[in-house]
């Protein structure tokens, strides 16, 4: 087990060149992302045409006076202006908001700002020019670039969702049943918030580029579980989003529209969806949280794929993309469109040096769009735990047009054959026990005992094989003394194998049972760090079985170990050393490989370094597993009489045995070697003469 895990960790260790390349790629990607996020400033300039342009904007988007039909008033947080159109040349009055001050609009238009500082005067010109530019550029959408950001909260038993009128988007998602383990005192998990995440829809036409995250929506039709965020564009034209907060951490998002083809031409047949999120730290142990934080995606009709979890990565996906997920160790945010994305650019940046965040993820997708009235598109968001049974049930709750979502693969359970073991054995057994037992430390103990009992026949067979090899040690020693030297290696091997055959023993029979146990051990190695059931569950001194159980902090740092001590890992190492010593005592005496004893003791010490920052539940399981294995070994010693084993082997030796094909080939090879050596001896004799 140890050799396999060590080889797995060593195989996945990046080289120095890869680390340097990852660092360079991360810096380049961060710089590119910062440049993309930086908005290009408008060319702010007030000229002679600004007054007429502003008057026309007030007339188009303002409200006419009931008593004076030629008088129009327009107000928003940026400007409060009246336009009187009773003459051919409109008369403007009102103010423009500049910082905390209201500046007369005519003074800006006439550049009569001598009593202001140059910086204040420039800011006034920029503020007015921005209003004119925005309304002129975005036409019917112009008024919605100004407003107040109002919020609405909808919650159920699972989560609390806050919606913001700015962008018509989800501003925050709080999971009410889970706590953040990095805060003191522990607070509810905030999976999604406006400071670190956001999304938007994008419409691109021949003369417009509209992003919904810049618009201020009107909140209407609020119920206990739903609301509508709309843009009433005038003349019966409306574009909006209906949100419905459902059980099981699902939020449905439906696009609703009426007469929108009057402002968005039918030639606009696609709509963009951009989403970004910085994954914050929620766990004490960063190692697994960082390793299991990744961006996943799924094409229609296929199983999920992912970007690299160990380095910065970018992909340009083309095809029918069914969903995209930003996954942390135990929680995920997933967008599932009813109509697949046709293209999707996805990016994952590793934030190795950030104490508060682990990954920065982005996606930019494009999907078909129709301006006809009704509900052209809808989406499902999943903001919740990586709970295997829950994710498995989502397929039945979401309309997928016949395509299986495979959301349960957000829970990393190993390679396909390892995952199969976890799905049919570990998870059902773990779930069954949790129905009757609330203490997960006890559940792990019972699970370990059940697994060891299932595997005990293989353990027993391995012990019997070792016992057979031990009782044959005197005969093997005689063969080695009878045929010493390298020149007799083939003969020595032949006699040894003949002895094994006569006695009914095999040096490989002890390996097979151990190899049959390895899939289960590897499956549990993947299962425990991914089991959200262990998160926040305390046992003995361990506060959280999904995190390291640090009991003290050293005043110094040990290379590759750190300065914190995990007690379960330490206990596992001690028991592992005891087990290694016991295992070597069970082996037949063999002085041909003196370095092997040193290596056997080195492996547990190496595991101390590897597992110190792993989940305490995993170290606790291995500690129990080794302890039970030692108990089983002593039980086998007590109940297996090696004298009877030897007597049985002697009886087997008396029985005539058909020579196996392997032995026949070995004898033929030995005869060929002897003939070759005789020929070489003759050749050397001729040379001396």
3-state secondary structure string, 199-213? EEEEEECCCCEEEHH
| 365-374 as b/e: b if 16+ CB within 10 A | bbbebbbeee
Q: How many domains does the chain have?
A: 5
Among residues 568, 619, 574, 28, the alpha carbon closest in space to that of 288 is found at: 619
Q: Which residue has the higher pLDDT, 326 or 450?
A: 326
% of residues, the chain, pLDDT over 90: 30
**Judgement on whether residues 286 and 228 belong to the same structural domain of the protein:** yes
**Judgement on whether residues 88 and 166 belong to the same structural domain of the protein:** no
Q: How far apart are CA 138 and CA 211, in angstroms?
A: 10
Tell whether 426 is covered by a domain.
no
Q: Which residue has the higher pLDDT, 266 or 460?
A: 266
Q: How far apart are CA 59 and CA 85, in angstroms?
A: 8
Per-residue confidence at 675, pLDDT binned at 50, 70, 90?
low
Q: For the domain that residue 332 is a member of, what is the CATH number?
A: 2.70.98.90
Tell whether 97 is covered by a domain.
yes
Q: Supply the pLDDT for residue 4.
A: 45
Tell whether 43 is covered by a domain.
no
Contact (Cβ atoms closer than 8 angstroms) between residue 342 and residue 360: no
Kindly report which listed range (119-123, 428-432, 516-520) carries the lowest average pLDDT score.
516-520
Q: Supply the pLDDT for residue 9.
A: 47
Tell whether 428 is covered by a domain.
no
Model confidence over 8-50: pLDDT tens digits? Answer: 444 445 555 544 545 554 554 444 444 444 434 444 556 668 8
Model confidence over 559-583: pLDDT tens digits? Answer: 878 788 889 989 998 888 888 877 7
Tell whether 424 is covered by a domain.
no
**Judgement on whether residues 209 and 340 belong to the same structural domain of the protein:** yes
**Judgement on whether residues 346 and 489 belong to the same structural domain of the protein:** no
Peptide bond into 43 cis (omega under 30): no
Contact (Cβ atoms closer than 8 angstroms) between residue 217 and residue 165: yes
Query: How do 226-234 and 101-104 pair as beta strands?
Result: unpaired
Q: Supply the pLDDT for residue 48.
A: 66
Tell whether 669 is covered by a domain.
yes
Boundary of a domain, candidates 124, 145, 166: 145
**Judgement on whether residues 584 and 526 belong to the same structural domain of the protein:** yes
The predicted model gives 94-118 an average pLDDT of 90
Boundary of a domain, candidates 120, 145, 170: 145
Tokens of 187: 């607070």
Q: Cα 206–212–216 angle (5° rounding)?
A: 125
**Judgement on whether residues 403 and 440 belong to the same structural domain of the protein:** no
Q: Which residue has the higher pLDDT, 518 or 42?
A: 518
Contact (Cβ atoms closer than 8 angstroms) between residue 413 and residue 419: yes
Whether 179 has a pLDDT exceeding 80, the answer reads yes
**Judgement on whether residues 621 and 688 belong to the same structural domain of the protein:** no
Contact (Cβ atoms closer than 8 angstroms) between residue 295 and residue 346: yes
Tell whether 656 is covered by a domain.
no
Boundary of a domain, candidates 377, 412, 447: 412
Q: How far apart are CA 138 and CA 154, in angstroms?
A: 32
Contact (Cβ atoms closer than 8 angstroms) between residue 575 and residue 2: no
Q: How far apart are CA 299 and CA 286, in angstroms?
A: 30
Q: Supply the pLDDT for residue 42.
A: 43
**Judgement on whether residues 401 and 477 belong to the same structural domain of the protein:** no
Q: How far apart are CA 342 and CA 139, in angstroms?
A: 29
Tell whether 288 is covered by a domain.
yes
**Judgement on whether residues 584 and 680 belong to the same structural domain of the protein:** no
**Judgement on whether residues 267 and 406 belong to the same structural domain of the protein:** yes
Owning domain of residue 27: 2-37
**Judgement on whether residues 328 and 249 belong to the same structural domain of the protein:** yes
% of residues, the chain, pLDDT over 70: 77
The three-state DSSP-derived secondary structure of 18-87 is HHHHHHHHHHHHHHHHHHHHCCCCCCCCCCCCHHHHHHHHHHHHCEECCCCCCEEEEEECCEEEEEECCC
| 242-280 as b/e: b if 16+ CB within 10 A | bbbbbeebbbbbbbbbbebbebbeeebeebbbbbbbbbb
**Judgement on whether residues 613 and 683 belong to the same structural domain of the protein:** no
Q: What is the mean pLDDT of the chain?
A: 81
Specify the DSSP element, H or E, that contains 679: helix 661-688
């Amino acid at each position: 087990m140890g050799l396999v895990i060590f080889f797995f960790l060593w195989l996945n260790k990046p080289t120095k060149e890869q680390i340097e390349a990852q660092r360079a790629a991360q810096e380049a990607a961060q710089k590119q992302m910062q440049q993309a996020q930086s908005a290009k400033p408008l060319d702010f300039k007030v000229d002679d045409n600004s007054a007429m342009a502003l008057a026309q904007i007030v007339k188009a988007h303002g409200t006419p006076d009931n008593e004076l039909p030629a008088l129009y008033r327009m107000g928003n947080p940026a400007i409060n202006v009246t336009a009187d159109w009773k003459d051919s040349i409109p008369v403007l009055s009102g103010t423009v908001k500049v910082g905390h001050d209201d500046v007369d609009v005519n003074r800006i238009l006439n550049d009569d700002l001598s009593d202001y500082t140059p910086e204040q005067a420039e800011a006034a010109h920029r503020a007015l020019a921005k209003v004119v530019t925005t309304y002129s550029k975005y036409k019917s959408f112009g008024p919605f670039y100004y407003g107040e950001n109002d919020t609405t909260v909808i919650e159920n038993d699972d989560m609390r969702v806050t919606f913001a009128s700015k962008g018509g988007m989800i501003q925050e998602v709080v999971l009410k049943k889970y706590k953040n383990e990095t805060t003191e005192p522990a607070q509810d998990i905030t999976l999604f918030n406006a400071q670190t995440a956001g999304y938007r829809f994008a419409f691109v036409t021949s003369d417009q580029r509209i992003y919904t995250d810049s618009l201020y929506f009107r909140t209407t039709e609020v119920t206990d579980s739903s609301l509508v965020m709309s843009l009433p564009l005038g003349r019966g034209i409306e574009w909006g989003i209906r949100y419905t907060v459902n059980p099981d951490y699902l939020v449905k998002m439906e696009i609703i529209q009426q007469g929108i083809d009057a402002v968005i031409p039918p030639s606009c047949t696609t709509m963009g969806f951009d989403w970004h999120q910085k994954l914050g730290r929620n766990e004490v142990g960063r190692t697994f949280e960082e390793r299991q934080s990744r961006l996943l995606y799924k094409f229609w009709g296929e199983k999920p794929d992912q970007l690299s979890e160990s380095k910065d990565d970018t992909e340009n996906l083309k095809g029918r993309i069914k969903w995209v997920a930003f996954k942390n160790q135990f929680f995920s945010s997933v967008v599932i469109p009813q109509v697949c994305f046709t293209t999707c650019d996805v990016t994952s940046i590793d934030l190795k040096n950030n104490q508060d965040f682990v990954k920065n993820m982005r996606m930019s997708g494009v999907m078909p769009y129709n301006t006809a009235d009704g509900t052209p598109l809808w989406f499902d968001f999943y903001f919740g735990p990586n709970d295997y049974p829950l994710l498995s049930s989502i397929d039945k709750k979401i309309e997928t047009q016949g395509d299986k979502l495979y959301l349960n693969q957000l829970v990393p359970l190993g390679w396909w054959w390892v995952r199969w073991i976890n799905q049919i054995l570990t998870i059902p057994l773990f779930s069954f026990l949790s129905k009757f037992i609330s203490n997960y430390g006890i559940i792990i103990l019972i699970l370990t005992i059940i697994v060891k009992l299932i595997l005990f026949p293989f353990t027993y067979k391995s012990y019997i094989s070792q016992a057979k090899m031990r009782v044959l040690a005197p005969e093997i020693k005689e063969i080695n003394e009878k045929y010493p030297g390298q020149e007799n290696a083939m003969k020595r091997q032949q006699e040894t194998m003949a002895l094994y055959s006569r006695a009914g023993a095999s040096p490989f029979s002890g390996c097979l049972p151990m190899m049959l146990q390895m899939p289960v051990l590897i499956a549990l190695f993947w299962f425990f760090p991914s089991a959200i059931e262990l998160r926040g569950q305390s046992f003995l001194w361990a506060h959280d079985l999904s995190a390291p159980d640090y009991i003290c902090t050293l005043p110094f740092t040990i290379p590759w170990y750190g300065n914190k001590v995990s007690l379960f890992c330490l206990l596992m190492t001690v028991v592992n050393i005891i087990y290694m010593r016991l295992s070597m005592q069970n082996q037949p005496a063999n002085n041909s490989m003196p370095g092997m004893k040193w290596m056997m003791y080195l492996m547990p010490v190496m595991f101390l370094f590897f597992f110190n920052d792993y989940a305490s539940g995993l170290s606790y399981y291995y500690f129990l597993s080794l302890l039970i294995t030692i108990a089983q070994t002593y039980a086998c010693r007590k109940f297996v009489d090696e004298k009877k084993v030897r007597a049985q082997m002697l009886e087997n030796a008396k029985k005539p045995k058909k020579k196996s094909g392997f032995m026949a080939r070995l004898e033929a090879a030995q005869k060929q070697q002897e003939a070759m050596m005789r020929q070489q001896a003759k050749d050397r004799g001729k040379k001396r003469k």
